[in-house]
Structure 1
Amino acid sequence: MSIFTKTLASLGVGNAKVDTRLKQTQYRQGDYIEGEVYIQGGQVDQEIDEIYLYLVVLYHHERNQQEYVMEEYRLSEVFTIAPRETRVIPFDFRLPFDTPVTTGGCPVYLKTGLDIKRAIDPDDTDGIEVLPHPLIEKVLSAVEKVGFQLVDIDFEFENYYSRHPFIQEFEFRPTGDLSGVLDEVEVMFYIGEKEIEVILQLDRKATDLMSSLEEALDLDHRTLRLTVHEQDVVGGTEELQKKLEELIRRHAH
């Protein structure tokens, strides 16, 4: 193979190519992702130092769009791919429970790449749809049935422990009699396989001099916690609704 051809490959012309193919594109938090990485050799022998797979979240913060790598996976050891050779590398991994749901306009995708010495590294990007963990879905439904409407899904960047720079929050507005005492309720989750911890932050409405002063001093929030186990909702969400309504009403005033 000519030096010219090798030089072109180092510039990305005639380089090896990578294509990731997922078994499906829709997952729930905590599901297993299965797929295969197809590598097509270029015009020259090339040494692949590694195949990397990133789980990436694209989010907005302070008017800036930021790319955050949640997880990184290495799929192979060093190998050489011959011209026009095809290699298929299967993979599977568990989607982290705290992967943000994509319903709120938060793109999540897998980025696959080849690390090739003295060449431009080829890569491939595949978007996925992330749905809520089944327990989260039941809690969100219960909050709505108590008398709230989901109005936004966003991120909280302060005050709550997370292994990431953010935690996803679900913002609800009261639609019933609680609209007289609450501006909104923000709901966040710490997720396990068979249980979740629910964090409710009540934003109380200023209704008198004391509550107006609390609002001015940013003291009008009440933070509540509730643990929900898988067995708590086996027969339906009625008991969960009662617990949520009692907890919210007790601390709303």
Structure 2
Amino acid sequence: MPFMKMLARLGIGSARVDTRLEHDTVRAGGDLRGLVHIQGGHTAQRIDRIDLHLMAQYLQRDNDRRSALNAVVRTWRVSTPFTLQPHEEREIPFSLRMPAHTPLTERGTPVWIKTALDIDNALNPEDSDRIHVLPHPLLQTVLDAVQHLGFQWRNSYCEAGAPLGRDEPFVQELEFHAGPAWQGPPRTLTVLPFPREDALELVLDLDRGPRGLTSLLEGTGLDSGRRERLVLSASDLSPGAGAVAERLASRLRGRT
């Protein structure tokens, strides 16, 4: 085997990849555009495929310990097989439609695009690019409504659990605390959003005590709080945050 080809298989003098995003901010349900720039190495190499993975970090609880794990939310293949010649440069443009349930990144949830080249008989080069994800428009209306009622958004993270109707191993939790403008219970509110393209399902956890997320979704566990499930269609949300706030207030205070 030629010496340069052997080095390339070990990743020395092999192809390099750099994903360049048009913007690093995108709204869930919107489009993320950019291009994959590939720089050839010292020898010709066959690129079997180029995949872009939408990645998110979530927390796994084990008694009192928590560990951070990574999950693939969505994968897109952006190339067919080709041979990259020595020192050749290629650029592959892309436009990715972000899933409606892409976790939002405000207040701490890491989300990024991982680019992976599959090179025949060689170490596969990768590239990672953090992105800032804004809420899906339907979820944005709910967040505006919750804050309109006087709740203050304190925290956001993804935690291990079975999402409703999806394959990811986590759900996102949005934590709010009541401010002076909100009178009466609940004093804390956790919103678990499950966005779809044309509707938004919510699990509202009111004044949660110490327990795990699995018991929340299954409706078990001992605590002094209560849970509400609410499905809002696009037409339900179209009147805006003020009207949605009135509907949420009734549910939070225990009225249908």
**TM-score over 0.5 (shorter chain):** yes
Deviation at 1:185, TM superposition (A): 1.3
TM-score scaled by length of structure 2: 0.84
Task: Give the superposition deviation at 1:198.
Answer: 2.4
**Structure 2: segments with no counterpart, 5+ residues:** 210-220
Where do residues 146-225 of structure 1 align in structure 2 (5 Å cutoff)? 146-158=149-161, 161=164, 162-176=166-180, 181-203=185-207, 218-225=222-229
Whose helix fraction is larger, Structure 1's or Structure 2's? 1
The answer (yes or no) to whether the contact 1:113–1:123 under 8 Å persists in 2 is yes
Kindly provide the amino acid, as one letter, of the partner of residue 89 in structure 2: T
Structure 1 counterpart of 2:119: 116
Q: 1:180 to 1:204 in 2, by over 3 A?
A: farther
Counterpart of 2:247 in structure 1 is: 243
Does the Cα contact within 8 Å between 1:200 and 1:225 map onto a contact in 2? yes
- Count residues with an aligned counterpart: 240
1:74-93 pair list within 5 angstroms: 74-93=77-96
Residue identity in the other structure for 1:58:
Q
- Matched residue of 1:185: which SS? strand
Q: Is the 8 A contact 2:59 2:160 kept in 1?
A: no
Please state whether the residue corresponding to 2:91 is helix, strand or coil: strand
Alpha carbons 2:162, 2:171 under 8 Å: kept: no
Separation in 2, partners of 1:249, 1:146:
12
Partners of 2:19 and 2:93 lie apart in 1 by 10
Could you say which residue in structure 2 is the equivalent of 1:96?
99
Task: Please say if residues 38 and 88 of structure 1, whose CA atoms lie closer than 8 Å, have aligned partners that are also in contact.
Answer: yes
Residue 129 of structure 2 is matched in structure 1 by: 126
Q: Percent identity?
A: 39
Tell me the distance in 2 between the aligned counterparts of 1:42 and 1:167: 41
CA 1:178–1:23 in structure 2 vs 1: closer, same or farther (change >3 Å)?
closer
Q: Which amino acid aligns with 2:115?
A: T
TM-score for both structures, normalised by structure 1: 0.85
Superposition deviation, residue 156 in structure 1:
4.4
Q: Higher Cα Rg: structure 1 or 2?
A: 1
Counterpart of 1:243 in structure 2: which amino acid?
Answer: R
What amino acid maps onto 1:192 in structure 2? R
Root-mean-square deviation over aligned CA pairs:
2.4
Q: How far apart are 1:171 and its partner, in Å? A: 1.2
Give secondary structure in 2 for the equivalent of 1:44: coil
CA deviation string 1:68-105 (max 9, x = no partner): 11112222222111111112222222111111111121
